[in-house]
Amino acid sequence: MGESVLTAGFGRVDGTLHCDGVPLDALAARVGTPSYVYSAQSIREQYARLSEAFAGAPHRLHYSVKANSSLAILALLRELGAGVDIVSGGELFRALRAGYSGSGIVFSGVGKAEAEIEEALRADVLLINVESEEELRLVNEVAGRMKLRARIALRINPEVTVDTPHPYTRTGEKGMKFGIPHDEAVRVASIALGLGHVLLAGIDMHVGSQIALFGPYEMGLQRLLALLEQMRAAGASDIRYIDIGGGLAVTYDTERPIDVTQFGVRTAAMLAGTGLELIVEPGRFIVGNAGVLLTKVLYRKRSGGKEYVIIDAGMNDLLRPSHYNAYHRIEPVTPVGGRIVADVVGPVCESGDFFALNREIDDVSAGDILAVHSAGAYGFVMASQYNSRPKAAEVMVDGDRFGVVTERESYDDLIKGEHVIPRWSAL
């Protein structure tokens, strides 16, 4: 039989892997592969866990759209009462399409373009999280032109040490590109107080992603609260939000899961008496384990004494194994018995196109459907068309029902916007 089931929403019935009430072999036959499959119920449960965990403090949960920006998922979370955290004009567009209003949106990001700032102000977002003095001045200028006062938070680099599975997912260490350096925060706050078209309404941090311990948050929060004192002393009387970013870890393998209850209790204790409303921007925690990537085994082969399992999903569909050397559990939907040690690789013409190296998995043969687990976050959103591979479909399961929420791309989609003959012009 397959490996033990860790993923909420996914379990075996008579040996066959199901997403809630839907058997995944039959689903693959119906919608084709590769396809992402998400459990609506699992997303609801994770959201509820967070709401309960933070119940001890006035708080707002702003789902981080970058983790999975499918309209159906955004709409599901909106119904549950979530806000969103966005990082681009494109994500703003999606959030508005999914029915969010400006008051449910915070806008983060290290390099917001002027047009994006303008779009955010037009949508009247709750907060623009400003990451540099130059950005602050630009927001003020754009808001002035639009005859508005922009509500902003200062994203401060708390400069704490964080341990994440890969250096690429650390953001809150000294010298990183994100946020206002810690020792400049009070000066930038004073500048904000002197500008006529911004209202300094919050402070913000984000320490990294896939963080299982409270330590880095606690340290960062302490540093933010100390800065807040200084900012208030300097006249900042409108700061009412404290945004601690996202980053809460999920279980990919056998890691100890984050204790969200403890996280919520300790955060609430630290914020008691500050008069601040907490904002949390979780992405992965809500959707990470709510999705799998279904893929078909195309071939088996041996090369140089090694076993290869060649599947119809590639690094263009799920980049995390090749980009971060990330672990994703892989198992056949219907195991037939036996174990092998193999490299599970995709069809893309890159040696880095792998899902697992030298991994012990259930024995599989051509035609078998595999589930690549914990693919709900940073899966489809990081997909590309590299090797001219149309993007996969996305499917939502709710109980016994399923529905395609993103159609599989066609070959025509691959050439959308292209011109065989350039539309020449001269300047």
Out of 24, 67, 72, 344, point to the residue binding ligand LLP (CB under 6 A): 67
Would you say 39 or 108 has its CB closer to ligand LLP?
108
Active site residue 19: no
Beta carbons of 183 and 189 less than 8 angstroms apart = no
Question: What is the C-alpha to C-alpha distance for residues 230 and 369, in angstroms, rounded to an integer?
Answer: 58
* Ranges within 371-410 binding ligand LLP (CB under 6 A): 377-378
From 1, 349, 421, 427, active-site residue: 349
64 part of the interface to ligand LLP, by CB under 6 A: yes
296 part of the interface to ligand LLP, by CB under 6 A: no
Beta carbons of 353 and 347 less than 8 angstroms apart = yes
To the nearest whole angstrom, how small is the minimum distance from the Cβ of residue 164 to ligand LLP?
A: 8
282 part of the interface to ligand LLP, by CB under 6 A: yes
Out of 72, 82, 85, 121, point to the residue binding ligand LLP (CB under 6 A): 85
246 part of the interface to ligand LLP, by CB under 6 A: yes
To the nearest whole angstrom, how small is the minimum distance from the Cβ of residue 252 to ligand LLP?
A: 10
For 401-407, the CB contacts below 8 A with 24+ separation are: 401/21, 401/22, 402/19, 402/22, 402/27, 402/31, 402/37, 403/72, 404/31, 405/38, 405/70, 405/71, 405/72, 405/73, 406/36, 406/70, 406/72, 406/380
Q: Within 10 Å of residue 145's Cβ, how many Cβ atoms?
A: 11
Give the bridge partners for 11, in sequence order. 18
Estimate to the nearest angstrom the gap between the alpha carbon of 16 and the chain centroid. 29
Number of residues that bind ligand LLP (CB under 6 A): 23
To the nearest whole angstrom, how small is the minimum distance from the Cβ of residue 47 to ligand LLP?
A: 13
State how far the alpha carbon of 402 is from the alpha carbons of 242, 332, 371, 406, in Å: 38, 20, 17, 12
To the nearest whole angstrom, how small is the minimum distance from the Cβ of residue 89 to ligand LLP?
A: 16
User: Which span sits near ligand LLP by CB under 6 A: 60-68, 294-302, 329-337, 343-351?
Assistant: 60-68
To the nearest whole angstrom, how small is the minimum distance from the Cβ of residue 16 to ligand LLP?
A: 29
285 part of the interface to ligand LLP, by CB under 6 A: yes
* Ranges within 167-196 binding ligand LLP (CB under 6 A): 169, 171
3-state helix, strand, coil in the chain (%, to 5): 30, 25, 40
User: Which span sits near ligand LLP by CB under 6 A: 4-12, 131-139, 205-213, 413-421?
Assistant: 205-213
To the nearest whole angstrom, how small is the minimum distance from the Cβ of residue 107 to ligand LLP?
A: 10
Out of 247, 314, 332, 335, point to the residue binding ligand LLP (CB under 6 A): 247
Tokens of 321: 């194994």
The DSSP output letter for 410 is P
Question: What is the C-alpha to C-alpha distance for residues 315 and 382, in angstroms, rounded to an integer?
Answer: 10
Q: CB-based contacts of 248: which residues, under 8 Å, 6+ apart?
A: 50, 211, 258, 260, 263, 282, 284, 285
Out of 116, 281, 331, 398, point to the residue binding ligand LLP (CB under 6 A): 281
Contacting residues toward ligand LLP, per CB under 6 A: 64, 66-67, 85, 108, 169, 171, 206, 209-210, 245-248, 281-285, 320, 324, 377-378
Q: Mind telling me the catalytic residues? A: 349
